[in-house]
Each structure stands twice: as C-alpha cells, then as structure tokens.
Amino acid sequence: MRRSWILALALLGSALGGAAQAPVLPAAWGDRIYPRLGQAGLDVTHYDVALRVPQPGTRTLQAEVTLSAQATRPLPLLSLDYLGPAVQGVTWNGAAVPFERAGEKLLIRRALTPGTTARVTVRLSGPAGRVPDPDLPVDLGWQALPGQGAQPGVNFSFSEPDGTRAFLPVNDHPADPATFTLRVTVPQGVTAAASGVHTRVQDTPQGRTFTFEQREAIPTYALSVHVGPLERVDRPAVQVAGKTVQVRDYFPPGIPPNIRAPYERTGEILRVLGEWFGPYPFAVYGSAVVRPALPALETATLSTMPVTSSNVRVIVHEAAHQWFGNSVPLGDWSDTWLNEGFATYAELLWVQAQGEGEAAVVQRWRDSVQSGPTRPLVARTAAELFDRSAYLRGALALHALRAEVGDGPFRTFLQTYARERAGQPTRTADLLALARRVLGPDAEGVLRAWVESPGLPPLP
C-alpha cells in the first residue's frame, strides 16, 4: 500500500514542479504494477560492465557500462532507468553524445532503428543512488557495510524488483532479460564475485580485476555482485539432468560452521530439483552469505543468503528460482506468483525427496493461507507481489494441478515450461495455455480456478 503512496507523491511532485521545458518521456514498458519502469520497444541484449569499487564498504563506485541496444520499433531516443552515480559521459557507437538526466531516467537523444544494434557506453562515478522499498529495512540496489579495523568492508547488489537502476543504467524490467559481462576491480586482498562463470583474474595498477561471464539472459534485478574479504569455497561439480554445473559459495570472515554446513548440500539440492525441472539453466550455482538481516534473494547463479536464512529450505527455494524467475523471466510484475509459487513448491519436492510425506507441508500452507485474506493469483498492487497468496496459494495451485494429472504428466509439464519459456517473458496466461496444450482442458480448468477465483478452490 505504501508503494502506491510513494507513486502518488512522485506524480504530484512532478505535476507541481513541471516546468515548461520538462522533457516528454517516451512510453515505459507498460508494467501493471510499476508503470514507469523500462522503455517500450527497447531490447538490451547485453550489458558489458567494468565496475571499480575503490573502497569496499562505502557507496563509491566507478563504472563504464556498454549496452548493446536494439529496437523492436523505431525509437526517437533512448530512455534508461537510472538513479545512480553522476554520469561523466555517454558515447554512441564510439562517438560522444549529449545526455540528460530527467527524474528516474537517463535520456540519450539518438534514434534507434529496428534491425540495428547500438553500442551505448555510459561512464559514471560517485555514490550509488537509492531506491526505497516499503517492505525492506534497507534501500534496494547497492549495499555497503563498512569494514571493522583493518578488515575491508563489503558491498553487494540487492535489487528485486527495481534496485539495479540505483547503480547501473538499465532497461529495468524483467521482460527485457540480457546477458552480462562483469569486470570488477577491487583493491588487493579483496574478492569480487558476480553472476556467471568466473573466467579470469588480472592484476592491474588499479587493483585486481575479476571477470565474470553470464552467458544466458537474466532479468536485471537478478544481477549478483559481491565485493569484500570473501572466502571462496569450491564444491564438487554436479550433473543436473545431464548438465554439468560448477558449484561454489562465498563467505565473509567469521561465519561459524553451523551456518556454513547447509551449503554443503547445494549440489544434492540441484540434482533433486533437476529431476523435476530438467537441466539446470546456467553453468554455475552457489550462494554468497551476507550478515544483515534481510530476506534471501535468488540473484542469478549466486544467491544472496543472509546468515539468518542459511538453512536447507531457503537454499532449495532460491535454487529453484534459477529455473523460475531467472531463466524463465516474468513478463509483468503482477505475475510474481510464477516465481514465488514455483520456488515454494520446490520446498515440498525436496521434502518428498528426503522420504518424508508431503501432507504436513501442504497442511501448513493451507492453514496459513486460510488464516488471512486470499486473492486471485495475478497481483493488483505492489503490496500483493510477495504476500502469502503469491507464495502459498501459488504453491497450492501447483499441488492441485499435480493431484489432478499425476506425477508423470506434472513432471513433463514442469520441464516443458522450464525449457520452452527460458528467456521468454512469461505471464500467467502463458502458463495456462501450456497447461491446456500439455495436460488438457480439464487440468487447465483446475489451474485456472486456483488462478482466478476470489476465494480458495477446493483443496486437493
């Protein structure tokens, strides 16, 4: 609810302050919940990010970000989501171009024609910006934890739903997922970790540069970057439904053995999930543990795991999001149940793989959903995006579908969804259409009741 207040105030503010020469912004993506994010018709295919963190633990950043920008319709200008450090310059295919910061947007007045790719480079330097979130104790985006004594500080990204724009210029909507190259330069003695495969380390006069290649498209909010005096722990690689996956975790100093222990099970967790979801969508997976009391976040290939969430259930949940949310991206923020319902359902699949019955888990979900108001699964407000209905009614909807069709067809359905929708912005209607095609109209009807009816349908 508070999110809509913020929006109303911002609109009021821009109406009151609207000087005659205020720029007319091009159409945003058209999200039902965040109508100002993204640019309609813009397709960023790749972000090449050279990021320098000269003093880990502070908000200071320097970056040179090159976007590979394409257009799906003629665009008179580029409008990126950006609330980050001061912009020092922009080039368009190598030539300097003027730019303008207009509220939450970075405007670059060059036309982009369908069928061409522009390489747009933005140089930035200064303190990261802030994106407040009504549900969190911190602002979204670039987190900074000061060091203690001689110990360097820590930084990490924490961005769902729209915090990446606090430190990088992006088309900040999950319906425009992209690949990333990250080159993170930090002082000697500090480690950098990020989404994707770690391909090299180079020492330069500026410090040490760690390079990461995220070769499959991911939503911008899922970008993981961690910097600090981190210990990297390599685990045995695992085969996940026929695909080899590297496993590694990162820990800050002083994390006790009981907090670290559950992460030893990551490979086993991926294998169990792969039996239901099919091949793991990326080349690497693991967790970066952080100290603040925050929710866990499924940052791509490197989940961000607070000490307080360091247990197997949450590791399973964030691992499942690699398929559902990171590989299969949301088409609209109102469809978060497609992320949270599936990731929550994975918790039950894990419990069953341990030889325990599912009844107790299903009972807990039901009791919890029935203890408060419920709603159709497509969210109508920002306050609904991560509520009990998204997580628990979403999971129960999948359980009802499974009860209707049986384990074999349900498994085929999950694997077809994960495979066909990888990289494709997906909405609830896409899931229903797939259910109808793969499982038939009766099964689709069961799922549709869970999606659409105001109250809770009969429980399986």
Structure tokens of 46? 């790749």
If the CB atoms of residues 118 and 418 are measured against ligand TRP, the closer one turns out to be 418
Helix runs in 174-311, H state only = 257-260, 266-277
Hey, is 305 helix, strand or coil?
strand
State how far the alpha carbon of 75 is from the alpha carbons of 26, 293, 362, in Å.
9, 43, 49
Q: Is 162 in the site for ligand TRP (CB under 6 A)?
A: no
Does 340 participate in binding ligand TRP (rule CB under 6 A)? yes
Residues numbered 115-154 forming contacts with ligand TRP, rule: CB under 6 A: 136
Q: Which is nearer to Zn ion, 107 or 343 (CB)?
A: 343
Q: Give the 3-state secondary structure percentages of the chain, helix then strand then coil, rounded to 5.
A: 30, 30, 35
Residue carrying the six token digits 């990289």: 423
Q: By CB under 6 A, tell whether 277 contacts ligand TRP.
A: no
In angstroms, the CA 337 to CA 379 distance is 8
The item of Zn ion, ligand TRP, none sharing an interface with residue 295, based on CB under 5 to 8 Å by kind, is ligand TRP
Q: One symbol per residue from 70 to 109: x for binding ligand TRP (CB under 6 A), - otherwise; what is it?
A: ----------------------------------------
Is position 298 an interface residue for ligand TRP (rule: CB under 6 A)? yes
What is the β-pairing status of strands 42-52 and 178-186? Answer: parallel
Length of the chain: 460
By CB under 6 A, residue 418 contacts ligand TRP: no
Annotate each residue in 378-417 with x if it binds ligand TRP (CB under 6 A) or - if it does not, as one string.
Answer: --------x-------------------------------
For Zn ion, the binding residues (CB under 5 A) are: 340, 343
Return left, alpha or beta for 93; rule: phi > 0 is left, psi -120 to 50 is alpha, else beta: left
Least separation, in Å, of the C-beta of 414 and ligand TRP? 18
Do 135 and 149 form a contact (C-beta atoms < 8 A)?
no
Q: What is the DSSP letter of 227?
A: E
Nearer to ligand TRP, 216 or 298 (CB): 298
Is residue 138 packed enough to be buried (19+ CB in 10 Å), middle (13-18) or exposed (0-12)? middle
Looking at the Cβ atoms of 26 and 295, the one nearer to ligand TRP is: 295
CA atoms within 13 A on the CB side of 75: 28
Contact residue for ligand TRP among 81, 104, 318, 430 (CB under 6 A) = 318
User: Which of the ranges 118-126, 148-156, 244-252, 296-304 carries the binding residues for ligand TRP, by CB under 6 A?
Assistant: 296-304
Cβ nearer to ligand TRP, comparing 99 with 386: 386
Compare residues 32 and 101 and give the one whose CB is closer to ligand TRP: 32
Site for ligand TRP in 7-36 (CB under 6 A): none
DSSP 8-state assignment for residue 195: S
Nearest approach, Cβ of residue 183 and ligand TRP (Å): 26
User: In this structure, what are the phi and psi dihedrals at residue 396, rounded to the nearest 5 degrees?
Assistant: -65, -35
Q: CA nearest 342: which of 287, 247, 410, 249?
A: 410
CB of 398 to ligand TRP, least distance (A): 16
Residues forming contacts to ligand TRP in the complex (CB under 6 A) are 136, 158, 160, 295-298, 317-318, 321, 340, 386
